[in-house]
Amino acid sequence: MQHPFGIDFGGTGIKGAPVDLGQGDFAHDRVRIDTPKPATPQAVAAVFQQIVDNFPASTTPVGVTVPGIVRRGVVMSAANIDKSWIGEDADAIFTQALGREVHVVNDADAAGLAEAEYGAARGRQGLVMVITLGTGIGSAMIFNGQLVPNSEMGHLEIDGEVAEVRAATSAREREGLSWEAWSERLTTYFRHLERLFTPDLFVVGGGVSKSWEKFGHLIEVETELVPATLQNRAGIVGAALVAHRKAGTED
């Protein structure tokens, strides 16, 4: 059986694997290659080809996460990747390079879709906000199972500062904050989201979700707050899910 392929394109590494959408998990072990420098679209496409070549030949669609705003396949921002991406039709570039249908999606949106379909938000109705804490703060908004794309909630301004500068995992590490001090900043951030959106559920992702027991209980909000369950698999799984759904609607 052939499975759709997911690729998670990050600032330091590019990871990919075929995904069993019935299980919401990798069909084979993932392959990781360092992100090229500079990470131009052409250089990245060559790495994608290397990753895909590690698996049996197939014609299934490929989904790719991009750390930037994506609108109808075009990359609109490039915070942690080469600026040459801005304005490029990544769907078209990668479809031509790989010789199969490719669809790109914002990385946090991909993780959010995976959590909604298979993880901590599975079966939940209403507004779910998936917040990923890492170098920055990524976000995905899911309403009754439907993605509201490119929400970029890490860029909200709180007390005169961009939220992710104060509250991302990188801020805790850069400033040597205790879990308690960092959680105070997270409380401010999540309360701000509560006031704006009145969500039904927060799902907290990113690598730091593995340390949930150290800080999760310290975040004081009224909304239910739970850790992500797919962890670092979410991007690949979500990307494959996007590719499968878009291929299905365009056949």
Residue 140 has a pLDDT of 96
Secondary structure of residue 184 in the 3-state scheme: helix
The pLDDT assigned to 159 comes to 87
Percentage above 70 pLDDT, the chain:
97
pLDDT at 225 over 90: yes
Tokens of 190: 């999540």
> d(Cα 206, Cα 218) in Å, to the nearest integer?
17
Q: What are the pLDDT digits (tens) for 30-81? A: 999 999 998 899 999 999 999 999 988 778 999 999 988 999 999 998 776 7
Round to whole Å and give the CA distance between 127 and 147: 10
Q: Under a CB-based contact definition with an 8 Å cutoff, are residues 216 and 227 in contact? A: yes
One-letter identity of residue 142: I
d(CA 45, CA 82): 13
pLDDT tens, residue by residue, 131-178 = 999 888 999 999 998 999 999 999 999 989 999 999 999 999 999 999
Mean residue pLDDT of the chain comes to 92
User: Measured between alpha carbons, how far is 75 from 105 in angstroms, rounded to an integer?
Assistant: 9
Residue 80 and residue 11 in contact, taking contact as beta carbons nearer than 8 Å: yes
52/189 Cα distance (integer angstroms): 39
Question: Taking the domain 123-229, which CATH number applies?
Answer: 3.30.420.40
Rounded to an integer, what distance in angstroms lies between the CA atom of residue 58 and that of residue 62? 10
User: Where along the chain do its domains lie?
Assistant: 5-109+233-250, 123-229
Tell me the backbone φ, ψ of residue 194, rounded to 5 degrees.
Answer: -60, -45
Given a cut of 50, whether residue 251 has pLDDT beyond it is no
pLDDT of residue 83: 86
CA 67 to chain centre: 8
Cβ contacts of residue 182 below 8 Å, gap of 6+? 167, 171, 172, 215
Q: What is the pTM of this model?
A: 0.90
Closest CA to 41 of 4, 79, 91, 6: 91
Average pLDDT over residues 230-248: 91
Asked if 5-109+233-250 and 123-229 have one fold, the answer is yes
What SS3 class is residue 244? helix
Helix (H) or strand (E) holding 17: strand 13-20
CATH architecture of 5-109+233-250: 2-Layer Sandwich (3.30)
| pLDDT (tens digit per residue) in 84-108 | 899 999 999 999 999 999 999 999 9
